[in-house]
Amino acid sequence: LKVKTAHLLLRVAALLMAIVLCLTAAQRCLSLLRVQSRRQIEQDLQDTAQQGINQLETAIELRMKFLESLASHMSGEPYPFYAVDRFDPVVSIYNAKCIGYAQPDGIACLTNGYREDISQQEFFQAALRGEMYVSDVLMTRNGEAVNAHSAPVWSTDGTEITGVMFVIYSTEVFNEMLRVGSFEGRGHSCIILEDGKLVAAFEGELQPANNNIFTGLLRADGANAGAVENIRRGMAGGGRALETISDGTRQYFFDAERVEHKPGREQWYFITIVAADVLSLRVQPIQVSVRNMLFCVVVLFLLCGLVYLWTYRKQRQELFRLAYTDSVTGMDNYSAFREKMLDGGVGGAGYVVAVDLRGFSSINNSCGASKGNELLDALGGILRSQVGPEELAAHVSRDSFVLFLHSPDKNTLIDRLQFIRGEIQALAPRMALPHLIPQFGICEVDSSDHPDESYGNAGTARLRFRDRVDLFYSFFDEEMRILTLENQQMEDDFDQALQDHQFEMWYQPKYSPQTGKLEAAEALVRWRKPDGSLVPPGKFIPLFERNGSIARLDEYVFNAVCAQQRAWSDAGLEVVPVSVNVSRASLFFPDIAERYMSIINRHGVSTNHIELEITESAINNSAEMERLICAFHSCGFRILVDDFGSGYSSLSTLTKNYFDNIKIDKSLVDCIGAPEGNSLLESIVQLAHKFHMTVTAEGVEEASQADFLVVLSCDNIQGYYYSKPLPASEFQTLLAAAAPVGQLS
């Protein structure tokens, strides 16, 4: 749960981080865009100003040339005042208000017929000093804003100034020149001096006051003070100034560009004032499209993220499904069962039930694997249909299922299992299968925290009555708990026991029924505990078969028997072949034949004196088994089929020349006396002999059984009737009693 939460938190954090990164990147892009837009606006303003300045300079140059030509006309004119009238026709052509000539005393004659004293005017004084001059805005007597352009009139010899020629233009005309073509005609330009005084009249929203643009700005909005200060500073520094100003309602860009200084005029500044939104609108489409693009990218990114998360989730679900779903039944497998139990979503206390079908293997063998799978699928379906919320059903392996059920008491639980059992048994006729015997091992649990242990206990409970047909369920009880603990203890002690040689070999003789002579023996292991008690193999062999330790024990026994044979032989006794049990798990080691052979060689014994017993149920018809048996045979081992007839024998294996001897299981020997049993045994012995195999009868307890086996020409007999398994020392006495016919070389 902790890991899951940590993963979830990690994923959420990653997603949040991705979103934050995305937004930061978008924010950064937008701010870059804003900076870029501002730069673009500055560039636009500068370009516009430059364009205006160029236009203005060209116009002023033309006017000055015109003025110069007028002045040169006047030069040497004997009656300049009378000559002024001559210029009257060109006044309108040059878009002027009037043209005038002033004597050095300042008395001027104008084309409109007026005479004026302009001696105090700067443009007059400047021209008298020899400068070509352009005035700032002057107000006429009738309140009209004008600009005067003046030039000196030189004497014909060019040595002295004889007067001043000047042209008065309406500031309107100046304005015409300044009218900015860009900004869709919504920008306003003007020329000012450094102190803000207008050279050319201003038209637009921000009206100058007293012909001074700064006064006008401050009057329009007191908040402009800072901006005005900055503009002044920028202009005084000789550079440009760009500020945002306001008229109280609207924002404007105020751009001041220095105009190259020319003689005859003060330092001019070209001012462009344009509403902020006009300019912003120009960059807005770019901003909008970039913003849209960013939005699309972010959405795309998030979409990709979501798609990724979705597919990741799907994949995980699929992985989970594969990992936690059983392929045969489509239901949960044991891992899923385990996870769900540990998840705690099943509500604590309940019953873990191990479900098995008795004899499923034979159904599988006789009806085929696909029919077997069909049966498992149907069985899984029944179990699934019977579990409620907070209950579980899972397929463990082959015919093993597990349930987790809630029930108010044991009786109700048994009723439920009884019902399930009925449903399962009803499958047999429907699926044309032999009688089905479901078995339930039950473990009551207080919590779902230990699924493995609970399922293990339920399995133990089921194993308890595996061979009983009268029971269909069993509860894991105290006795089993103790047994489980004992088993656990034995598992823990195994390594030490091997090291300390706590396993001792007992020998059960095999006699010839005809002669009553000791012919062979089977080595049977016992565990001598440090306290001296003896544990029979039935207690630990199945346990070690389950946990895999059996292969080591088999090898240990094999080695001990070889050593014993060597010792007996060295002691001058006539040894008889001793068979050693080889469990199914040992056969999984492909090099077992070589390993056993090297043990044989190490002890210097012969394979004539060591035989191998392989239980019938361990033998399958696989190529690997064939190879193994061949390997044993080529080493010279005789192979005995153990427990023949106890399970479902495949007679075809008899035809394969796998075995040298058949050990008829006690269960068949016990049938001696019944006519069917007698004929069955007779047939088996005949069959074995036909295939050149000898026959041993196991578990012979009665004289009648032994007598019958004599009649059948059974080759030897092993059973309590002759002898129980004996400790090595007692078996040695038996050997010693036999005549010393041959010794191991």
The stretches of 221-275 forming alpha helices (DSSP H) are 225-236
Restricted to residues 676-735, the positions that interact with Ca ion (CB under 5 A) are: 698
Can you tell me the distance from the alpha carbon of 236 to that of 232, in angstroms, rounded to the nearest whole number? Answer: 6
Closest CB to ligand C2E among residues 468, 724: 724
Total interface residues for ligand C2E by CB under 6 A = 23
The option from Ca ion, ligand C2E, none interacting with 583 (CB < 5 to 8 A, set by class) reads ligand C2E
> 151 — phi, psi (to 5°)?
-145, 145
- Of the ranges 235-243, 360-368, 380-388, 534-542, which one interacts with ligand C2E (CB under 6 A)? 534-542
CB of 714 to ligand C2E, least distance (A): 14
Q: Is 441 in the site for ligand C2E (CB under 6 A)?
A: no
Number of Cβ within 10 Å of residue 584's Cβ equals: 15
Q: Is 458 in the site for ligand C2E (CB under 6 A)?
A: no
Closest CB to Ca ion among residues 56, 700: 700
- Of the ranges 87-95, 440-448, 529-537, 605-613, which one interacts with Ca ion (CB under 5 A)? 605-613
The option from Ca ion, ligand C2E, none interacting with 701 (CB < 5 to 8 A, set by class) reads ligand C2E
CB of 725 to ligand C2E, least distance (A): 5
- Coarse DSSP helix, strand, coil percentages of the chain, rounded to the nearest 5 percent: 50, 20, 30
- The answer to whether the beta carbons of residues 578 and 603 sit under 8 Å apart is no
Cα distances (Å, whole numbers) of residue 179 to 28, 256, 352, 483: 38, 15, 96, 110
Q: Is 720 in the site for ligand C2E (CB under 6 A)?
A: yes
Closest CB to ligand C2E among residues 184, 707: 707
Closest CB to ligand C2E among residues 146, 700: 700
Closest CB to Ca ion among residues 326, 554: 554
Can you tell me the distance from the alpha carbon of 745 to that of 740, in angstroms, rounded to the nearest whole number? Answer: 14
- Of the ranges 275-283, 313-321, 623-631, 714-722, which one interacts with ligand C2E (CB under 6 A)? 714-722
- Of the ranges 53-61, 124-132, 202-210, 699-707, which one interacts with ligand C2E (CB under 6 A)? 699-707
Q: Is 727 helix (H, G, I), strand (E, B) or coil?
A: strand
Restricted to residues 607-666, the positions that interact with ligand C2E (CB under 6 A) are: 642-643, 666
Among 238, 538, 572, 675, binds ligand C2E (CB under 6 A): 538
The option from Ca ion, ligand C2E, none interacting with 554 (CB < 5 to 8 A, set by class) reads ligand C2E
According to DSSP, the residues that pair with 62 across neighbouring strands are none
Nearest to 56 by CA among 168, 236, 179: 179
Closest CB to ligand C2E among residues 454, 583: 583
Taken in order 461, 463, 464, 465, the sign of the CA dihedral is: positive
Polymer length of the chain: 745
User: For residue 279, what are the contacts with CB-CB under 8 A and spacing of at least 6?
Assistant: 41, 44, 45, 183, 253
Q: Is 417 helix (H, G, I), strand (E, B) or coil?
A: helix
**302's torsion region: left (phi>0), alpha (psi -120 to 50) or beta?**
alpha
CB of 698 to Ca ion, least distance (A): 5
Restricted to residues 124-143, the positions that interact with ligand C2E (CB under 6 A) are: none
DSSP 153: E
The option from Ca ion, ligand C2E, none interacting with 699 (CB < 5 to 8 A, set by class) reads ligand C2E
Restricted to residues 546-605, the positions that interact with ligand C2E (CB under 6 A) are: 550, 554, 557, 581, 583
C-alpha of 400 from chain center: 34
The option from Ca ion, ligand C2E, none interacting with 44 (CB < 5 to 8 A, set by class) reads none
CB of 475 to ligand C2E, least distance (A): 27
- The answer to whether the beta carbons of residues 644 and 663 sit under 8 Å apart is yes
Among 136, 554, 642, 715, binds Ca ion (CB under 5 A): 642
Can you tell me the distance from the alpha carbon of 480 to that of 399, in angstroms, rounded to the nearest whole number? Answer: 23
Among 257, 436, 725, 735, binds ligand C2E (CB under 6 A): 725
Dump strand ranges (E) for 8-63: none
Closest CB to ligand C2E among residues 272, 696: 696
Q: Which two tokens stand for residue 503?
A: 């396993």
CB of 685 to Ca ion, least distance (A): 17
Taken in order 381, 382, 385, 386, the sign of the CA dihedral is: negative
Q: Is 643 in the site for Ca ion (CB under 5 A)?
A: yes
Closest CB to ligand C2E among residues 182, 646: 646
Q: Is 537 in the site for ligand C2E (CB under 6 A)?
A: yes
Q: Which two tokens stand for residue 356?
A: 């098995």
Can you tell me the distance from the alpha carbon of 227 to that of 54, in angstroms, rounded to the nearest whole number? Answer: 27
CB of 649 to Ca ion, least distance (A): 13
CB of 14 to ligand C2E, least distance (A): 56
Closest CB to ligand C2E among residues 208, 725: 725
Q: Which two tokens stand for residue 237?
A: 């520094």
Can you tell me the distance from the alpha carbon of 662 to that of 641, in angstroms, rounded to the nearest whole number? Answer: 5
Closest CB to ligand C2E among residues 301, 589: 589
Among 520, 525, 587, 610, binds ligand C2E (CB under 6 A): 525
Q: Is 247 in the site for ligand C2E (CB under 6 A)?
A: no
- Of the ranges 191-199, 350-358, 486-494, 716-724, which one interacts with ligand C2E (CB under 6 A)? 716-724
| Segment (H or E) for 680 | helix 675-690
Among 122, 377, 486, 701, binds ligand C2E (CB under 6 A): 701
Can you tell me the distance from the alpha carbon of 487 to that of 481, in angstroms, rounded to the nearest whole number? Answer: 10
The stretches of 471-523 forming alpha helices (DSSP H) are 478-499
Restricted to residues 481-500, the positions that interact with ligand C2E (CB under 6 A) are: none
Closest CB to Ca ion among residues 332, 555: 555
CB of 524 to ligand C2E, least distance (A): 4
- Of the ranges 7-15, 32-40, 474-482, 698-706, which one interacts with ligand C2E (CB under 6 A)? 698-706
The option from Ca ion, ligand C2E, none interacting with 536 (CB < 5 to 8 A, set by class) reads ligand C2E
The option from Ca ion, ligand C2E, none interacting with 518 (CB < 5 to 8 A, set by class) reads none
- Of the ranges 156-164, 445-453, 530-538, 611-619, which one interacts with Ca ion (CB under 5 A)? 611-619
CB of 600 to ligand C2E, least distance (A): 16
Q: Radius of gyration (Cα) for the chain, nearest Å?
A: 59
Q: Which two tokens stand for residue 70?
A: 């007028």
C-alpha of 214 from chain center: 66
The option from ligand C2E, Ca ion, none interacting with 538 (CB < 5 to 8 A, set by class) reads ligand C2E
The option from Ca ion, ligand C2E, none interacting with 380 (CB < 5 to 8 A, set by class) reads none
CB of 491 to ligand C2E, least distance (A): 16
Can you tell me the distance from the alpha carbon of 494 to that of 517, in angstroms, rounded to the nearest whole number? Answer: 37
Q: Is 613 in the site for Ca ion (CB under 5 A)?
A: yes
Can you tell me the distance from the alpha carbon of 193 to that of 730, in angstroms, rounded to the nearest whole number? Answer: 136
According to DSSP, the residues that pair with 117 across neighbouring strands are 107
Can you tell me the distance from the alpha carbon of 72 to that of 87, in angstroms, rounded to the nearest whole number? Answer: 13
Can you tell me the distance from the alpha carbon of 720 to that of 666, in angstroms, rounded to the nearest whole number? Answer: 11
Q: Is 526 helix (H, G, I), strand (E, B) or coil?
A: strand
Nearest to 226 by CA among 246, 206, 207, 211: 246
Q: Is 399 helix (H, G, I), strand (E, B) or coil?
A: coil
> 206 — phi, psi (to 5°)?
-90, 90
- The answer to whether the beta carbons of residues 716 and 512 sit under 8 Å apart is yes
The option from ligand C2E, Ca ion, none interacting with 264 (CB < 5 to 8 A, set by class) reads none
- The answer to whether the beta carbons of residues 463 and 484 sit under 8 Å apart is no
- The answer to whether the beta carbons of residues 612 and 580 sit under 8 Å apart is yes
Site residues, ligand C2E (CB under 6 A):
508, 524-525, 536-538, 541, 550, 554, 557, 581, 583, 642-643, 666, 698-701, 718-720, 725
Site residues, Ca ion (CB under 5 A):
581, 613, 642-643, 698
